[in-house]
Amino acid sequence: MKIGLVGAGNIGRHFAARLHAAGYDLTVFDIDAAAVERANRAGIAVASSVVELADGCDVVLLSLPVPDVVMSVAADMVEGTAVRVLVDLSTTGPSATARIAEVVEARGIDFVGAPVSGGTVAAEHGTLTIMTAGKEDVVKALEPLFRTIAKNIFYLGRSPSLGQTMKLLNNTVYAANLVASCEALVYGVKAGLDAKTMLDIINVSSGRSFATQERIPQCVLDRSFPLRFTTELLHKDIRMCIDDAQRLGAQMRVSPVVRDFLAYAIAQGDGAEDNAATIRHFERWAGVTFGAAPAP
């Protein structure tokens, strides 16, 4: 099996490294010169175009930032002569995925929607969760490949859009937990509570979440704010979730408030920063700081 990967950025670079280390015959394509140089240094083959990649690979994985880019790449991909399966690891959304699947499958190429969750750290360690949807026999055949990049693999059904629906609602729940946790923790600091003690208590109590157990302790408590997942990408996911829920007639009342807060943060210049950094708006409004940088 010859594997292609389009997109070797923040997440995709870890897919490339793990697949290459596992011995897969891998070729990557990326428009970013730094990503290409990184692949070259690792001894990974690099294609000069999407079509060239699709001419030489049986299975192609996509790890791309936004639906329009996924659609554009998929449209080029179907011109390839070797590709038989296209797997979208991106967060593309159910509506766009349905359109892409129609284009891809019309050319006799199997399409699998397989968005991932867990962030860059889990991608590096191969402990991501992957939400697969598509023909069951095709997904089953890809399971050894998926196990190279993910720990938790779920099959959600025949429609490739189902994995995307699951990913969007997961990210929407995370966003709501993050924003609610940030504003509550800043309130706690303002009232005189210790930042770390609050997290310790929440994380053995009913308020715990991925935001309080992983993101805020790792990214906010020491004021490091490493880039794991940008604010603009999280906003994109929650916006797509709300739009699709509205299309289906499922009312959302809390999520739009979270979406609007993230939109505000982006308008203040936080779009390219990690989403956990949005706590600084609550801090500014309250006049306090949550956590502190380690002593030299």
Q: What is the residue whose two structure tokens read 């009232």?
A: 191
Distance CA 157, CA 203 (A): 34
CB-based contact 126:120 (threshold 8 Å): no
pLDDT band at 105 (very low <50, low <70, confident <90, very high): very high
CATH number of the domain bearing residue 30: 3.40.50.720
Same domain? 7 vs 153: yes
- The pLDDT assigned to 119 comes to 86
149 and 203 housed in the same domain: no
- Looking at the structure, tell me whether residues 144 and 174 fall in a common domain: no
Domain assignment present for 145? yes
CATH code of the domain in which 216 resides: 1.10.1040.10
128: which strand partners? 150
Query: Where among 99, 129, 159 does a domain terminate?
Result: 159
Total domains, the chain: 2
- pLDDT tens by residue, 65-87: 999 999 999 999 999 999 999 99
Q: The whole model's pTM is what?
A: 0.91
Last residue of a domain, one of 124, 159, 194: 159
Q: Are residues 85 and 203 in the same domain?
A: no
Ordered strands of the 150-155 beta sheet = 116-117, 128-132, 150-155
Range(s) of the domain holding residue 145: 2-159
Q: For residue 102, with 0-12 CB atoms within 10 Å meaning exposed, 13-18 middle and 19 or more buried, which class applies?
A: exposed
Which pLDDT tens digit goes with each residue over 202-225?
999 999 999 999 999 999 999 999
Q: Which of 98, 130, 159 is the last residue of a domain?
A: 159
**Is there a single domain that holds both residue 205 and residue 64?**
no
The token pair at 74 is: 């998929």
Q: What is the pLDDT of residue 296?
A: 79
Label residue 295 by pLDDT band (50, 70, 90).
confident
In a domain, 291, yes or no: no
Q: Looking at the structure, tell me whether residues 182 and 35 fall in a common domain.
A: no
The DSSP string of the chain is: -EEEEE--STTHHHHHHHHHHTT-EEEEE-S-HHHHHHHHHTT-EE-SSHHHHHHH-SEEEE--SSHHHHHHHHHHHTT-SS--EEEE-S---HHHHHHHHHHHHTTT-EEEE--EESHHHHHHHT-EEEEEBS-HHHHHHTHHHHHHHEEEEEE--SSTHHHHHHHHHHHHHHHHHHHHHHHHHHHHHHHT--HHHHHHHHTTSTT--HIIIIIIIIIITTS----SSBHHHHHHHHHHHHHHHHHHT---SSHHHHHHHHHHHIIIIITTSBGGGGHHHHHHHHT--SS-PPP-
Task: For residues 251-263, give the mean pLDDT.
Answer: 98
- When the pLDDT of each residue in the chain is averaged and rounded to a whole number, the result is 96
Measured CA angle at 50 (ends 140, 121), to 5 deg: 60
Confirm if 12 and 63 have CB atoms less than 8 A apart: yes
pLDDT tens digits, one per residue of 126-149: 999 999 999 999 999 999 999 999
Q: What is the pLDDT of residues 22-47, one digit of tens each?
A: 999 999 999 999 999 999 999 999 99
| pLDDT of res. 110 | 97
Q: Is the pLDDT of residue 294 over 90?
A: no
Asked whether residue 153 is assigned to any structural domain, the reply reads: yes
Same domain as 185, residue 67: no
Q: Is residue 296 part of a domain?
A: no
